[in-house]
Amino acid sequence: MDVFGVVIGAVVMVALGIGIGIAVDRFLLKRLGLNQLAQAREQAQRLLADAEKEIEQLRFERIEKVEADLKRREDALAEETAEARRALRRSKERLEQRQEKLNRRTQKINERENLLHKATDAIEALRKEAEQIRLRADLLHGKATALSEEARERYEDVVRREQQLKALEDRLEAERQELARMHEEQLRKLEQASGLSREEARQALLDQFIEEARLEAASQIKEIRDEARLRANREARKVILTAIQRTAASHAIENTVSVVNIQSDEMKGRIIGREGRNIRAFEAATGIEVIVDDTPEAVILSGFNPVRREIARIAMTRLIQDGRIHPARIEEIVEKTRAEIEEEIVETGERTVIDLNLHGLHPELIRFVGRMRYRTSYGQNLLAHSIETARIASLIAAELGLDAGLARRAGLLHDIGKVVEEEIESPHAIVGMELCRKYKEDPVVCNAVGAHHDEIEMTSLIAPVVQAADAISGARPGARREALEAYIKRLEKLEALAASFKGVERVFAIQAGREIRVLVNHDLVSDAQAEQLAVDISRKIQSEMQYPGQIKVTVIREVRSVSYAK
């Protein structure tokens, strides 16, 4: 009930009171007299005054209630306005992020178009080179034909010489007959002394001359054939070397250091943080050693794992641009960068498959192909080596009349067993073959992958083609460096050895393998056990590995307490 209703009710009550008062007056005048009438009037006045007070009190209460309601509505409206402003600000931030993502996608599309143009140019160059190789092969065939003609001419010359020798023998025979007539007595004596007739002696001499002529002719024919064969081998080697040199592309050898440029040396102090907490948090999150030295406007990131190093480089660049460098922010940026690198790995695999015109490849195999970009084999980038092997295998298969698509597919996947994340004791060729079988690849491709190092028997002509293409790609000058591969394997073994102990969460080899940092679970390993764990790891390294100098083992046990305010 509002104030006005209360007022109306009070007025009605007052009116009723007045009416009742008049009636009472009349009654009292009649019954009780003037005194009682006066008392009734006073009582009516008091009732009227009380009613007015009650009406005034109700009016003040209603006004206060309305003012309080208006205050609440004003507060709610202010809160809604603030929330709308915050929502607008978040929408603006999301729009800016989407715009930035769209710009990155546009840049990637441009890069893909550039790569497609480069791939088209490379394919055209390879076609021209194949045509030149084919022309050189025809030229070599012509030279071989010419050499055969030369050998035939020499053989005819030998035949002519034999005829000349025969004519000479005829002349000698005539002279011998003349001498026989002149020295008939001597011949008789010789016949008596030797016990042979003249015909027998003549035939023996003739046989001797003929045998000597045949031996001389055979020797000359052998020399001619050997010379022709030697020339043919030299020309064939020259053709193969030319093909290898023209097919070989320029590939950069992966190193173990990345450099991040900074605007000023003041940023180095923020990267290190108070008492080094920022740099320790960054190394613990990425597994990469951060070197902050006297190098002007540069920070060096060192690590043998190229994926970790790339994550660390991008994360460090973003932290420097953001300016907010503290442990929580470092962990957030590193995790976000790790997810983006995983997406980039998939995009690299898809781009490679599109460039090689391969279809129907399983998404997991595409992901493994993308991981090849961050892996080296004997110092040679594994993805570049696999692409080169695929193209060489395709060219060879096309020349032999085989399926160039299957050869290209097997060439791309032949070393995929090297990027499997799990530790497997089998050779990488067998691991790659099992992986291809798992994802329903063609049996010809599986056999070519498993047999390219002769671990299994070859069952198709594609297998030797892939093996030859792999050998050509790996054997060209400057393709591989054995020392770098051995170094990386030693660091991987060092990390795996330390990770085999109970309670170890992560292991990072830093300082070129001279130190390993072991992060343990604080719930499973106490402080005393951490000290003993460092001793046990160092003893196992001494007994199972060979290395120059010494290796420092650092065990880190960190306790974190987390709570949420609700």
CA distance linking residue 436 with residue 360, whole number of Å: 13
Same domain as 342, residue 320 = yes
Residue 477 lies in a domain: no
Sheet of 289-291, strand order: 257-261, 298-302, 289-291
Residue 161 lies in a domain: yes
Same domain as 212, residue 275 = no
Per-residue pLDDT of the chain (566 residues; tens, 9 = 90+): 455 666 676 666 766 767 676 665 566 556 655 666 667 678 878 888 887 888 888 878 888 888 888 888 888 888 888 888 888 888 888 888 888 888 888 888 888 778 777 777 777 877 787 777 777 767 766 766 766 677 677 767 777 777 887 887 787 787 777 766 676 766 666 666 666 666 776 776 677 767 666 666 666 666 776 676 667 666 655 555 555 554 543 333 345 677 887 777 778 888 888 888 888 888 888 888 888 876 777 888 887 777 788 888 888 888 888 888 888 888 888 888 888 888 888 888 888 888 888 888 888 888 888 888 877 766 678 888 889 899 998 998 888 888 888 899 989 988 888 888 776 678 888 888 998 988 888 899 999 999 888 888 888 888 888 988 888 877 654 455 444 566 677 888 888 888 999 889 889 888 767 788 999 988 888 888 888 888 889 888 888 887 656 788 999 988 777 777 76
Same domain as 265, residue 351 = yes
pLDDT reported for residue 248: 44
Q: Closest by alpha carbon to 469, among 406, 516, 426?
A: 406
Same domain as 313, residue 227 = no
Rounded (to 5) percent helix, strand, coil in the chain: 75, 5, 20
Query: Among positive and negative, which fits the CA dihedral 518, 522, 527, 532?
Result: negative
Residue 89 lies in a domain: no
Same domain as 229, residue 243 = yes
Domain boundary, last residue among 333, 355, 377: 355
Same domain as 278, residue 170 = no
Same domain as 222, residue 278 = no
Residue whose structure tokens are 């597919």? 409
CA distance linking residue 455 with residue 384, whole number of Å: 24
Same domain as 494, residue 520 = yes
Sorted by sequence, the CB contacts under 8 Å of residue 496 that are 6+ apart come out as 423
CB atoms within 10 A of CB 210: 14
Contact predicate 301/309, CB 8 Å: yes
The Cα-based distances of 504 to 499, 526, 533 in angstroms read 6, 12, 9
Residue 141 lies in a domain: yes
pLDDT reported for residue 446: 92
The CATH number of the domain holding residue 268 is: 3.30.1370.10
Q: Closest by alpha carbon to 511, among 552, 473, 556?
A: 552
Domain boundary, last residue among 355, 375, 393: 355
DSSP assignment, residue 257? E
Q: What are phi and psi of 291, to 5 degrees?
A: -110, 110
Q: Closest by alpha carbon to 511, among 253, 255, 299, 256?
A: 256
Residue whose structure tokens are 């003929």? 210
Residue 437 lies in a domain: no
Q: Closest by alpha carbon to 257, among 318, 340, 313, 315?
A: 313
pLDDT reported for residue 551: 85
Same domain as 237, residue 140 = yes
Name the residue range of residue 146's domain: 125-247
Same domain as 267, residue 198 = no
Is this structure's pTM higher than 0.85?
A: no
The CATH number of the domain holding residue 539 is: 3.30.300.30
350, burial (CB in 10 Å: exposed 0-12, middle 13-18, buried 19+): middle
pLDDT reported for residue 49: 83
Query: Into how many domains does the chain fold?
Result: 3
Same domain as 243, residue 130 = yes
Residue 455 lies in a domain: no
Contact predicate 380/411, CB 8 Å: no
CB atoms within 10 A of CB 554: 13
Same domain as 538, residue 523 = yes
DSSP assignment, residue 564? -
Residue 147 lies in a domain: yes
Domain boundary, last residue among 247, 275, 305: 247
Residue 71 lies in a domain: no
